[in-house]
Amino acid sequence: MPKLHYRAVFVSDLHLGSNGCRAGELASFLKHIKCDSLYLVGDVIDMWRLRQRWYWPEKHNRVVQRILKMARKGTRVVLVPGNHDEHARPYAGLSFGGVDIKLETLHTTADGRRMLITHGDQFDLVVKHARLLSIIGSWAYDNLVRINHYYNLGRRAIGMPYWSLSQAVKDKVKSACSYVARFEEALLDEAARGGYDGVICGHIHKAQILRADDERPVDYYNCGDWIESCTALVEHDDGTIRLVDGAALVEQLKEQRRSLRAATRKTRSPQDNASPHSAPAAEAAD
């Protein structure tokens, strides 16, 4: 099946190198898409975790290989480092393996809107002024994700859908809701001061689109993350930016592929079905 084509794709908070990273789903998502520009909006490699304990399974290699392959095949790949991969920031302005590193960058949509792309941690007062508290909070979040993983294994076994414990906690705790609101306001103000039409960010692991209105002078887009939500922002050829569930999109495409194979098998002649090479050839398509 042909790959889905987008003008631009934006992903953030992959956290490669951490137990929580859903690298398998991410590698599959990148395999099934084609885009003119790919923006990695921070926290791609979790250097905080890797300093504490080395964790780098083959699935994480596949994500890096997919990104580099896209760059070799003509996709413009831009990395905007976040706080978890801040050691890449001194290399801003350089290119490695076809990946351009920038502290922040500008993306102009097909309909002419100027979008500021930044990870967003510089607008997080906790990260900026209380690093120890930020590290403790990150540790607590990792443990919530770990508990959530085993809880959802049980839910899956009995046919129940995925449920996010950490998101439920954030939605219930008033201070967390206030923190998200302040973060959004700070980014919107910064984009407005810079004369941008919108801002695309990550950092807080909350996928969201807020369109400009009487209260908000610019558009706000948050990519989400690849630990729980597995979301990405995609720009279509008309300039429309949408939020997609990457993992669900891949499953939908795989189901279409399975249906196509089943239909193809039904239309084959008995001689084709008897061929010892026909089944392996179909399986090789994976």
Residue 207 inside a domain? The answer is yes
Closest CA to 6 of 254, 247, 239, 255: 239
Q: Give this prediction's pTM.
A: 0.78
- Give the 3-state secondary structure of residue 114: strand
The sign of the CA dihedral 53, 204, 153, 23 is: negative
Does residue 143 belong to any structural domain of this protein?
no
Rounded CA separation 62/25 (Å):
11
Number of structural domains (the chain) is: 1
Pick from 55-69, 201-215, 257-271: least confident: 257-271
CA-based Rg of the chain, rounded to a whole angstrom? Answer: 21
Banded pLDDT at 119 (limits 50, 70, 90): very high
Q: State how far the Cα of 144 lies from the Cα of 225, in Å rounded to an integer.
A: 15
| Measured CA distances, 232 to 29, 41, 72, 229, 279 (Å) | 10, 10, 22, 9, 34
Find the CATH number of the domain harbouring 85. 3.60.21.10
Q: For the segment 223-258, what is each residue's pLDDT rounded down to a tens digit? A: 999 998 899 999 999 999 999 999 899 888 888 888
Q: Nearest-CA neighbor of 86 among 132, 55, 44?
A: 44
Q: Is residue 135 assigned to a domain?
A: no
Could you list the residue range(s) of the whole structural domain that residue 48 is in?
A: 4-119+197-252
Residue 100 belongs to some domain of the structure: yes
| Angle between helical axes of 23-31 and 246-267 (0-180°, round to 10) | 60
Residue 11: pLDDT band (50, 70, 90) is very high
User: Domain for residue 30, yes or no?
Assistant: yes
pLDDT interval class at 129 (50, 70, 90) = very low
Is residue 118 within 8 A of residue 104, CB to CB? The reply is yes
Asked if residue 10 belongs to a domain, the reply is yes
Using the predicted structure, report yes or no on whether residue 28 has a pLDDT greater than 70. Answer: yes
